[in-house]
């Protein structure tokens, strides 16, 4: 990723985050409990809850500001609970240009990114609100995904922006915060950026009540034993060769659109004696599996996978069904769309945003 898409935070940036969290904490209409309702949330808890997101907004707005030579301002106002329900605002609310303030010409949504993220997108109700209230900016609505990272060798507990702030601010010879990262080691990195039009035309709608499918195929072991015969409990269904459309069903036999794959290569389709819907693929040559939900997967001769659509929510406490409507890309599919030039690169998209905002 080009250095142009990385921002190094300053002490003033961290102070801006702390001030926002302080003002939020002191707003009397805000509830004092966490989302789980397990007990009161302290000022420190609100820094943990809201600080990283606000830091991400600052970092991304600073990156765009540097590229466009204008100051992109984020919204640090604290709204009452009623106002929050009424407000539909972009994350960059004003542009300062030649000492004059104006509204941005684009609608920017800033989102967090983590290295283990498999899905990128937006809630359907958020999109509907933008479509309803900011219809004139639909062609200029963009989602930007940034990561807060630490350029040091500290461990996860030592990488804490509040600890870094106290380390730089609390000058007391009797107490030290030297274990924590330095503010200068905290960075924001933009990983992905795409338009709402990209998401609606090339992404997919995942409805409330549906599943969250796993986005990769797990490696299957114990397919063949040492003498070349199928392992006990496995059965040969058929050979697949050349180009073909094949279906991966759920473990209870349901056919979903996301289970439709284009196959190109050679493999054995295998079944399981204990579950009539469980399937495996054993690849006898280099093979490509691809669909519009998960993107492209390449396998080599001798690889074996579980070939079912599995629900990531299975086994978690609570419902195994989604409780909200979403529009998403899988990260793997998004990378493929960028490689195929169906979506602009992140650098090109940020450049366009900086030019047009």
Judge if 169 and 263 occupy the same domain. no
In a domain, 339, yes or no: no
CB atoms within 10 A of CB 23: 13
The DSSP code sequence of 207-274 is -TTS--B-SSPPBP--SB-TTSSBPTTEEEEEEEEEEEEEEPPBTT----GGGEEEEEEEEEEEEESS
Looking up tokens 């492209």, which residue turns up? 296
Q: What is the pLDDT of residue 60?
A: 98
Judge if 141 and 18 occupy the same domain. yes
Judge if 65 and 180 occupy the same domain. yes
Judge if 143 and 10 occupy the same domain. yes
Looking up tokens 């969290």, which residue turns up? 21
In a domain, 75, yes or no: yes
Q: What is the pLDDT of residues 27-79, one digit of tens each?
A: 877 766 655 555 677 888 888 888 999 999 999 999 999 999 999 999 998 88
pLDDT block averages, 10 residues each, the chain of length 357: 85 92 84 59 85 95 96 90 74 94 96 96 95 90 97 91 85 83 93 97 96 94 86 94 97 95 98 94 97 97 96 78 95 97 97 96
Q: What is the pLDDT of residue 162?
A: 85
Judge if 39 and 184 occupy the same domain. yes
Judge if 139 and 47 occupy the same domain. yes
Determine contact, residues 180/164, Cβ cutoff 8 Å: yes
Judge if 185 and 83 occupy the same domain. yes
Looking up tokens 């601010």, which residue turns up? 169
Looking up tokens 């600073």, which residue turns up? 62
**Domain extent for 37:** 3-208+346-356
In a domain, 183, yes or no: yes
Distance of CA 123 to the CA centre of its chain: 12
Domains in the chain, number: 2
Judge if 197 and 263 occupy the same domain. no
In a domain, 129, yes or no: yes
Judge if 253 and 289 occupy the same domain. yes
């Amino acid at each position: 990723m080009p250095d142009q898409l990385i921002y190094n935070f300053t002490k003033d940036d961290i102070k801006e985050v702390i001030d926002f969290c302080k003002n939020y904490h002191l707003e009397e209409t805000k509830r004092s409990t966490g989302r789980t309702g397990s007990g009161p949330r302290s000022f420190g808890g609100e820094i943990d809850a809201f600080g990283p997101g606000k830091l991400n907004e600052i970092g991304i707005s600073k990156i765009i500001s540097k590229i466009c030579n204008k100051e992109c301002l984020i919204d640090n106002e604290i709204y009452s609970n009623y106002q929050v329900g009424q407000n539909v605002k972009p994350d960059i609310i004003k542009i300062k240009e030649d000492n004059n303030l104006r509204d941005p010409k684009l609608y920017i949504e800033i989102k967090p990114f983590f290295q283990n993220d498999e899905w990128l997108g937006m809630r359907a109700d958020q999109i509907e609100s933008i479509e309803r209230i900011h219809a004139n900016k639909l062609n200029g609505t963009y989602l930007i995904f940034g990561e807060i990272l630490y350029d040091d060798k500290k461990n996860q507990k030592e990488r804490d922006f509040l600890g870094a702030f106290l380390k730089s601010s609390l000058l007391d010879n009797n107490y030290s915060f030297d274990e924590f990262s330095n503010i200068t080691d905290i960075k924001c990195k933009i990983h992905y950026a795409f338009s709402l039009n990209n998401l609606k035309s090339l992404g997919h709608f995942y409805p409330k009540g549906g599943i969250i499918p796993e986005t990769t195929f797990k490696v299957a072991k114990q397919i063949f034993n040492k003498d070349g015969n199928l392992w006990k409990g496995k059965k040969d269904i058929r050979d697949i060769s050349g180009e073909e459309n094949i279906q991966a069903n759920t473990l209870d036999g349901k056919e979903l659109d996301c289970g439709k794959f284009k196959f190109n290569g050679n493999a054995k389709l295998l079944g399981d004696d204990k579950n009539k819907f469980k399937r495996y693929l054993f690849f006898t040559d280099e093979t490509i599996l691809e669909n519009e939900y998960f993107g492209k997967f390449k396998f080599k001769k001798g690889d074996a996978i579980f070939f079912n659509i599995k629900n990531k929510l299975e086994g978690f406490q609570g419902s195994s069904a989604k409780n909200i409507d979403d529009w998403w890309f899988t990260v793997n599919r998004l990378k493929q769309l960028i490689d195929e030039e169906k979506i602009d690169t992140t650098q090109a998209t940020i450049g366009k945003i900086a030019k047009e905002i």
